[in-house]
Structure 1
């Protein structure tokens, strides 16, 4: 999940307060025989100095360091900023130590001994270098992790967008290309049976509506796909008449399972166009849908032989394979083969 700038600021200030509070509480409880006034003063001032100096450092780093094109110049800037922040850190420690010694309660011998180490400016600077250096390393590591996470999210969003664009393109290509033939067949039917031709026009419009409205959907119930298949078969029978026999074996428990739209319809269309249409006496198309465990099995058999016509691009079948791969990766499968004078198409779709 990508963090907003507001959330990042909340996290930064939370970590700042927690980190400097922990370090200063740890530091003041190590020396013995220290008054509660000096303890409280040291903790509050220590937190203030740590938060103030590193917040200024963060402000500088955010506006002057180009993390996207990190190089030698950025490294020099970071080193210089660490030195300057350490000087500020040391100066503030010496200054507030001076304030407490001269304007605070009288110091005990143990407190005076402790103050001598804090009164040395260069000792404070060396100590500050370690503290600020550790802070910068931690800050840069967190910054790097956030950048890697953002890049990962952007890659995922880009892949998702590309996949959706590919799917929409494939759906557009898969839209039934038999529409023009159906219109011509219906026009001829009008001379014989006006009522039936009106019914066929309704079925054709339903297929068109289905094709358009489901263009942005990746899955639909099997029962909806079967309605389109039935409409397609009825329209095809205008052309094939008694030459086309259609058998449907669909298990009732598969009707509400979800599949990519237009996949079964395209298999039926392929069987009719490349199988039945090439047979003088016609043939049979058998659709079987069953469920085995966590997989949905779709089989379309048609009378005929598996042969690739000259000039055929096999675009429809390639589109099915691509759509299944985009939606299910390697979990789904599609194959087409000839078995005992029949062409058999099998699709396996995972349901989990």
Structure 2
């Protein structure tokens, strides 16, 4: 940790201005109230409020290298006593030189007030120690808060990364299996699926875990994902999009929607014998955007439907990004499954 005056020029300026004001006030009181001549009052103020503050700035180093965390209290007090004595000796000597050079006729005043000056020197030393301890505490607290914020950010990124890594491999595994099955029977479709899968994965990997993208870009990627799945399911999968123009530029977390469509296909399309529509609608109101994704499903084929890993991941991501998991609502309508996402316009920093 560097000297606070080196790190903070404004603090050093305030420090100088403070002692300047104190010095000028002291000169005024001595000159107008006690009728001390201007030279003597200015010289006294110079010794107390210029020389000592300059020397006192070095007290910070004594505090830094003799902290209670590294030394016993007895040794710390001894170091400060030695430091205060040395500083006092230098201060009194410089005061003696200043008086001798500027007004040698008042040297007797220094000798007459020497005990009081020594005592005041120790008192000022204690004041400076408290001052620098307060500054060190404030700086340490700021650094601690900063490090905690950085640590929380790293943890948050790690959690988001872990959640996202649970989504993509599952989809990738299914897609590769489908490509393998299509290679012999429908090589053209397999080729198309490989290209689309490559584009989809490139989109997923080029964004950070908590990066935001426009809804328009996210839906384009979703359509790419659905085109990959449509190769597997053919006419059974029928995606429908009803998105207002006002929603297109709305910023949302990257890849937050894909697990919802994966969930719809897993529980709706996969088990169905008839075509299944996955309808996506979007509206904006009062600075928020409502996204509704609804899909049909066969209630007979899925009797014990719980919240899958994709939905749990989304809840956790919303909690990490927005600070709440109440932005998603899931409704089972017995013949269809509806998911509503109400996302605010601004994502908390």
User: TM-score normalized by structure 1?
Assistant: 0.82
How far apart, in 2, do the equivalents of 1:3 and 1:297 lie? 51
Deviations 1:96-130 (A, max 9, x none): 358637972656xxx98xx37x7233222332333
Q: Which residue matches 2:309?
A: 315
Give the direction of change, closer, same or farther, for the CA distance of 1:319–1:52 in structure 2 (3 Å limit).
same
| 1:27 equivalenced with 2:20 (yes/no) | no
Secondary structure class of the residue paired with 1:125: helix
> Residue deviations 1:253-298, cap 9 Å, x none?
1112111222212101101111221223242211112212111212
After superposition, where does 1:201-350 map in structure 2 within 5 Å?
201-216=194-209, 218-304=211-297, 305=299, 308=304, 314-330=308-324, 333-350=327-344
Q: Determine if contact 1:53/1:89 at 8 Å carries over to the other structure.
A: no
- Matched residues in 1 for 2:129 and 2:83: separation? 13
Instruction: Tell me if structure 2 keeps the 8 A contact 1:90–1:121.
Output: no
Change (3 A) 1:38 1:316: same
CA shift at 1:187, angstroms?
A: 4.4
What is the CA–CA distance in structure 1 between the aligned matches of 2:295 and 2:88, rounded to whole Å?
Answer: 83
In structure 1, C-alpha distance between the alignment counterparts of 2:202 and 2:98, rounded to whole Å: 82
Q: Distance in 1 between matches of 2:319 and 2:3?
A: 33
Q: Distance in 2 between matches of 1:103 and 1:209?
A: 78
Between the two proteins, the alignment pairs up a number of residues equal to 340
- CA–CA distance in 2 between the matches of 1:190 and 1:83? 86
In structure 2, relative to structure 1, the CA distance for the partners of 1:225 and 1:101 (3 Å cut) is closer
The correspondence for 2:60, drawn from 54, 58, 73, is 58
| Alpha-carbon offset, residue 225 of structure 1 | 1.5
The 8 Å contact of residues 336 and 346 in structure 1, kept in 2 or not, is answered as: yes
Structure 1: stretches of 5+ with no match in the other structure: none
Distance (whole Å) between structure 2 residues aligned to residue 200 and residue 4 of structure 1:
62
Task: Give the CA RMSD over aligned residues.
Answer: 3.4
Q: Structure 1: how far apart are the matches of 2:64 and 2:11?
A: 13
2:14 and 2:75 map into 1 onto residues whose CA distance is 26
- State the alpha-carbon separation in 1 of the partners of residues 275 and 118 from structure 2: 94
Deviation at 1:167, TM superposition (A): 1.2
Separation in structure 2 between the aligned mates of residue 79 and residue 20 of structure 1, nearest angstrom? 28
Match of residue 119 from structure 2: 126
State which drifts further: 207-216 or 40-49.
40-49
5+ long unaligned stretches in structure 2: none
Cα distance change of structure 1 residues 92 and 190 upon mapping to structure 2, 3 Å threshold: closer
Deviation at residue 92 of structure 1 after TM alignment: 3.5
Change (3 A) 1:226 1:176: farther
Q: Distance in 1 between matches of 2:321 and 2:80?
A: 50
